[in-house]
Structure formats: structure tokens, C-alpha cells
Amino acid sequence: MTTTTTPTISNGTTAVPRAPEREMPTSKSPAASAGGTAKVDALPDLAVLPDEVLALLADEAPREQQRRHAKREADFFELVREQARVLGITPARIAARLAGRIPRPPAQRPAAARPEAGGTDDDGRRHVRAKYRNPRDHAQRWSGRGGKPQWVLDHLAAEGTMEELLIPEGAL
């Protein structure tokens, strides 16, 4: 008489019989990544597991999936970071491309295009035309966005007004 042994897995205290081999999707197999299935022979027969073990599995399985997802994500970003470093691409440019703001490379921009006049930077953000200029040094300009530059603060401290700093219409 021949006896057959059922493969078992251990939960720390009890040996639990394994379920018969079945087709299950796995994340490590090439077939699964293409939407197929792979043979898994280590899945326990859940019907014979004690309730405590099932509860532990139900609690731990999502945590393990989150850990694996976080690890894959970290590996992905490390790969992207390394490739960007090799190619000399800034994180801002990567973000712009991923967001769908695909700026033209600098070599393809018209020579007459002034970035202050509404053009785009390499990361896809639009430049804002300057609205104010320093009355003592017309090369110093400010769009009115963000913190006030020191020359604006100095002008206001000397009883000047913001209207006096406005760039006249048509001035460069």
C-alpha cells in the first residue's frame, strides 16, 4: 500500500496542509506582468487554517503589499534619479515633461523670443513680464510676484510709491 503525503506549511505552531497546485497571478513572473498567470504551489488551503491564522494573514497581507509597493517605487525613483543625473536633466524638467508641459529645447526657440515676455523656461513654467523697475538702475526689474526686492523696500521706506516704480507702457 502506497501512502501519499500532503505537502504542509507551518504557521509557527501548526502544520497546515497545502492546497492543490493552481493557476494564480504573481507579480514576479513575466506571464503575470503581461496579464497572464503562473503556477503557484505554495498557497495554503485556507479552509483548514484556524481563525487566528486567517486573521493574522488578513492583517499582514496588506502591510506586506504596501511594503513591496514602497520598495518598487523607491527603486523606480532611484533609477530615474540616476538616469537624470547621467543625462544632466533637472527634476523640474522631469516634472514638466510628466505634467504634459513640454517646453521647446533652448536651441529651437526663436532668437528674438524674450523669456520675460511670456516665453517658457526649460521646466515649462511661463515667464512673467516685469511690471516695476528700479528708478536708479533700470536693469533691476520685478514682476510684482513673490517677495519685494530690496530696492523696492528702500524706495517705499524713502516715502516713494509703487506707482513711481511702474514700467511705462511701451518701455523695454
Position 1 in a domain:
no
Residue 165 structural domain: 130-172
How many domains does one find in the chain? 1
* β strands within 11-147, DSSP E: 15-17, 22-24, 38-40, 132-133, 141-142
Position 114 in a domain:
no
Q: Are the C-beta atoms of residues 145 and 125 closer than 8 Å to each other?
A: no
Position 135 in a domain:
yes
Position 160 in a domain:
yes
Position 59 in a domain:
no
Task: Tell me the C-alpha distance between 98 and 81, whole Å.
Answer: 14
What's the mean pLDDT in 76-103? 86
Quick one: pLDDT band at residue 7, thresholds 50, 70, 90?
A: very low
Does residue 30 carry a pLDDT above 80? Answer: no
- Complete DSSP assignment for 41-74: ---B-GGGS-HHHHHHHHHHHHHHHHHHHHHHHH
Position 112 in a domain:
no
> Which residue in the block uniquely carries the three cell numbers 502591510?
63
Quick one: pLDDT band at residue 99, thresholds 50, 70, 90?
A: confident
Question: What is the value of pTM for the model shown?
Answer: 0.40
Position 151 in a domain:
yes
Task: Write b or e for each residue in 39-55: b if 16 or more Cβ atoms lie within 10 A of its Cβ, otherwise e.
Answer: eeeeebeeeebeeebee
Position 108 in a domain:
no
Cα diameter, the chain? 108
Each residue's pLDDT tens digit, 119-171: 555 566 677 888 999 989 988 999 998 899 999 999 999 999 999 999 988 77
The pLDDT of residue 97 is: 82
